[in-house]
Structure 1
Amino acid sequence: MITATKPPRFLIIQTAFIGDVILATALLEQLHEARPDAILDVLVRQGNESLLANHPFLTDVLVWQKKGTKYRDLWRLLRTVRERKYDAVLNLQRYGTMGLLTAFSGAKVTIGFTKNPFARFFTHQVDHRFEPGVHEVDRNAGMLPVLGIAEPPRHRPKLYPSVADYTAVKGYQSQSYVCMAPMSVWFTKQYPTERWVELIKSLPKNLTIYLLGAPTDMAACEILKTLSERAEVVNLAGKLSLLKSAALQQGAVMNYVNDSAPLHLCSAMNAPTTAIFCSTVPEFGFGPLADVSRVVQTPELLDCKPCNLHGRKACPLGHFKCAWGIRVEELAQLDL
């Protein structure tokens, strides 16, 4: 428990992927609500720091330059962390490198998940449970009682696009639109191209359809646009930053997303969400959190679903029924 008379300083560590960083922002909301005087810093891997631009509760964002200089930069970070004399370090990452940094941080209180290989060296360990009804934001919030903060009701993650971000996408919002983020790092999390094309063709003609994604998704999204043979499709993959994409998603009639980072962007913006779960399941704790949201999966009971936690590069059984069984007709139902 933190009982210091001066404002406490907390470091939250989440050096995993984009979606994990977005979900970690729920913890920032909870910490600020409970201790508005607290100084809050976050540590993320290089490339994810832009997500936290404009965040009103953050004092500093530490960046781990993981590629190429992974261990050398780790020692640089460790020196910085120790110099700041944090009251508490909350490590949301379950892997060893950040566990090592947490253990040697010099913080009065170090909290992490029991799954971390260095957990025995933390002052406090918290279970990380995959159970129905338990979301990742709930698992992260399980660290709060250690700080003497009663675990509050579930908070949504939250991002803060700037005025410039909203201005940049305003030109795309002159009429009703749908956003689609059709790609994923993992093949088995990704709804098939042919089915995305069918979905595009099924939606009302008065809707503009914006395809969102990273620069590496540009070519695949262009193929979708071509195959759809629909003039109202605009390929924005690689053209918008994450916060600009979030600002655009916020105003959409609907956002169609795989079980991937764009899903969590929608949650952070409370944007209407249709989350397509192929090989994974929302029971892992990464489902949508927006007020208007739904999960669509195959109605067929498959012994092989889920095949693992993160997705795979190919269907291990070769049939990919978890994706092909998802009906376009169900996805296309919009309450406009």
Structure 2
Amino acid sequence: MPTAPTGAVLLIQTAFIGDVILASALLEHLRQTEPDTPVDFLVRKGNESLLQHHPQVRQVLVWDKKKSKYRGLWRLLQQVRAARYGRVITLQRFASTGFLTAFSGAPERVGFQKNPFAFGFTRALPHVIEGGVHEVSRNLLLLDAKYQGPVVPPRLYPSPTDEATAAPYAAHGPYLCIAPTSVWFTKQFPQEQWVKLLAALPTHYRVYLLGGPPDVAACEELLRASNRSNMVNLAGKLSLLASAALMRGAVLNYVNDSAPMHLCSAVGAPTCAVYCSTVPYFGFGPLSPFARVVEIQGNLRCRPCGLHGYRKCPLNHFHCAHGIETAQLLAVLAEADLHAACNSPVETSPEQGAGSLALS
């Protein structure tokens, strides 16, 4: 039986919130396979709160990309080299993190072949967006090139403070959470579509709107447009992990193909993921025990229009979002309500995760 590599591990993921959340699955795999191996994690400034209290993380390293970006990168390289890691693994395909990995001095330097510094890696793997393989599975291959096991869900750990912050809102009977925004226009279910859903939701549900500080205005506008009495705008008021704690107790969470969807996966929160221009086939779908994907019925020749979102619909009709029916979203709620009442797990195949069922 092969022995585990020696020395601490550094995982690098300096992209967006959702990418860091999905990368936490590697921490779970290391906990199961190498429980005594110290693991450090490098993130971009602003994402460190996700992992600062994570029980599998020894130290969180932070790169401030907005302030002295390249000088900070050089300082990080000195810090990484001084730590004498046994393995440095970059989950990104960009030059900056490839530079840190290639010149880290670690005996094992691992990343994807598309990285410009892959020539300096001791092992470089393909990153192929096909076959419906989940991003978590692609990343797990960086730890174990022969890994063929099930998708390991990401996992985050809200602190007692996060739990206490969420608790008063969770105490108001059955509730739903809606995270209505996205960085990308074509990943965001339009406001008028959310308004239709809010008008159709049973009145006994309290609704919480979630988001970060940049989402406050959009959530406030949705609150006014819906004119729903038992709805509260919590955008900008909860930390990421407090939001996750609140989502965990919801009957259902309506989210876009964006970071809140991955927050749900990381705490096992019931999820209805609304896909507009993108598709779960890319491998970024929800992984909660109860998760459903809602997308437009039938096929659109223009969908998907790209791996990531756009600032506007390339064809100026955005039918992939406007063509989704409110009844599809309500059907998921009916199923989630029954699931919550029965408190029984939903079975899904490992490769599909939980996000492969489309109500279309």
TM-score between the two structures when normalised by the length of structure 1? 0.96
Deviation by residue 1:300-329 (Cα, 9 ceiling, x = unmatched): 311111111110000010100110111111
2:71 maps to a residue whose letter is R
Q: Which residue of structure 1 lines up, in the alignment, with residue 31 of structure 2?
A: 32
Instruction: Give 1:4 deviation, angstroms.
Output: 6.9
Contact kept in structure 1, 2:253 and 2:271, CA below 8 Å:
yes
Q: Which residue of structure 1 lines up, in the alignment, with residue 316 of structure 2?
A: 318
TM-score between the two structures when normalised by the length of structure 2? 0.90
Contact kept in structure 1, 2:52 and 2:59, CA below 8 Å:
no
- Larger mean CA deviation between 113-122 and 76-85 belongs to 113-122
Indicate yes or no: 2:101 matched with 1:125: no
Q: Which residue of structure 2 lines up, in the alignment, with residue 158 of structure 1?
A: 155
Structure 2 distance, partners of 1:2, 1:240, is 45
Structure 1 distance, partners of 2:152, 2:177, is 24
Structure 1 distance, partners of 2:184, 2:275, is 12
Deviation by residue 1:30-89 (Cα, 9 ceiling, x = unmatched): 012100010100000000000112100110000001102110000110000000111001
Q: Which residue of structure 2 lines up, in the alignment, with residue 296 of structure 1?
A: 294
Structure 1 residue matching 2:43: 3-state secondary structure: strand
Contact kept in structure 1, 2:140 and 2:147, CA below 8 Å:
no
Contact kept in structure 1, 2:4 and 2:34, CA below 8 Å:
no
Task: Output aligned runs, 1:105-116, within 5 Å.
Answer: 105-116=104-115
Instruction: Give 1:103 deviation, angstroms.
Output: 0.5
Q: 1:171 aligns with which of 150, 168, 176?
A: 168
Contact kept in structure 1, 2:158 and 2:241, CA below 8 Å:
yes
Structure 1 distance, partners of 2:247, 2:131, is 27
Q: Which residue of structure 2 lines up, in the alignment, with residue 268 of structure 1?
A: 266
1:212 maps to a residue whose letter is L
Q: Which residue of structure 1 lines up, in the alignment, with residue 277 of structure 2?
A: 279
Deviation by residue 1:200-238 (Cα, 9 ceiling, x = unmatched): 111110000000001111111111111111111100000
Structure 1 distance, partners of 2:203, 2:286, is 27
1:28 maps to a residue whose letter is L
1:328 maps to a residue whose letter is T
Contact kept in structure 2, 1:141 and 1:151, CA below 8 Å:
no
Structure 2 distance, partners of 1:145, 1:317, is 42
CA distance 1:3–1:326, shift in 2 (3 Å): same
Indicate yes or no: 2:136 matched with 1:134: no
Contact kept in structure 1, 2:137 and 2:151, CA below 8 Å:
yes
Deviation by residue 1:77-135 (Cα, 9 ceiling, x = unmatched): 00000001110011101111110111000000000011111112100001111123310
Q: Which residue of structure 1 lines up, in the alignment, with residue 72 of structure 2?
A: 73
Q: Which residue of structure 1 lines up, in the alignment, with residue 205 of structure 2?
A: 207
Q: Which residue of structure 1 lines up, in the alignment, with residue 346 of structure 2?
A: none
Structure 2 distance, partners of 1:300, 1:288, is 21
1:161 maps to a residue whose letter is P
Structure 1 residue matching 2:10: 3-state secondary structure: strand
Structure 1 distance, partners of 2:238, 2:186, is 25
- Larger mean CA deviation between 113-122 and 41-50 belongs to 113-122
Instruction: Give 1:151 deviation, angstroms.
Output: 4.9
Q: Which runs of 5+ in 2 are unaligned?
A: 338-360
Q: Which residue of structure 2 lines up, in the alignment, with residue 92 of structure 1?
A: 91
Q: Which runs of 5+ in 1 are unaligned?
A: none
Contact kept in structure 1, 2:24 and 2:156, CA below 8 Å:
yes
Structure 2 residue matching 1:73: 3-state secondary structure: helix
Q: 1:190 aligns with which of 183, 188, 191?
A: 188
Give the number of equivalent residue pairs: 333
Instruction: Give 1:264 deviation, angstroms.
Output: 0.1
Q: Percent identity?
A: 56
Structure 2 residue matching 1:142: 3-state secondary structure: helix
Indicate yes or no: 2:39 matched with 1:10: no
Instruction: Give 1:2 deviation, angstroms.
Output: 8.5
Q: Which residue of structure 1 lines up, in the alignment, with residue 47 of structure 2?
A: 48
Structure 2 residue matching 1:298: 3-state secondary structure: coil
Structure 2 distance, partners of 1:241, 1:173, is 15
Contact kept in structure 2, 1:256 and 1:276, CA below 8 Å:
yes
Q: Pairwise CA RMSD of aligned residues?
A: 1.5
Indicate yes or no: 2:11 matched with 1:19: no
Structure 2 residue matching 1:171: 3-state secondary structure: helix
Q: Which residue of structure 2 lines up, in the alignment, with residue 254 of structure 1?
A: 252
Structure 2 distance, partners of 1:18, 1:162, is 18
